[in-house]
């Protein structure tokens, strides 16, 4: 699973979210966090329909969107949404990826 964070380096809530995602990824093998600066890559934000930062979009390895969260999520809420998305994945697939 890829957690794509769309953010800005001048955005304080974005920095909080990045720290939260770093902690979450450390506890979940197979989950990767990448950050995209929307000022540098407005095309990515536009293609994903992102209107505010921070926004986190979780994708499965086939590129399908699993979860989308805007704003600073609470740790427990984000972990629950990620766990739910992993549980809904098709049987027979790696639950970590």
pTM of the full structure: 0.83
- Tally of domains within the chain: 1
Whether 43 and 60 have beta carbons less than 8 Å apart is answered as no
For 62-92, write each residue's pLDDT tens digit.
Answer: 999 999 999 988 888 888 988 888 777 644 5
CA angle 37, 38, 39 (to 5 degrees): 90
Q: Structural domain of residue 40, as residue ranges?
A: 2-81
Residue 89, pLDDT score: 63
Return d(Cα 28, Cα 43) in angstroms, integer.
29
Name the DSSP class of 39.
T
The CATH number assigned to the domain holding 25 equals 3.40.30.10
């Amino acid at each position: 699973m890829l957690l794509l964070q769309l953010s800005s380096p001048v955005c304080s809530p974005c920095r909080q979210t990045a720290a939260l995602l770093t902690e979450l990824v450390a506890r979940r093998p197979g989950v990767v966090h990448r950050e995209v600066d929307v000022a540098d890559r407005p095309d990515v934000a536009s293609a994903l329909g992102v209107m505010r930062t921070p926004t986190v979009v979780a994708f499965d390895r086939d590129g399908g969107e699993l979860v989308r969260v805007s704003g600073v999520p609470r740790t427990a809420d984000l972990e629950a949404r990620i766990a739910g998305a992993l549980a809904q994945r098709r049987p027979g697939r790696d639950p970590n990826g």
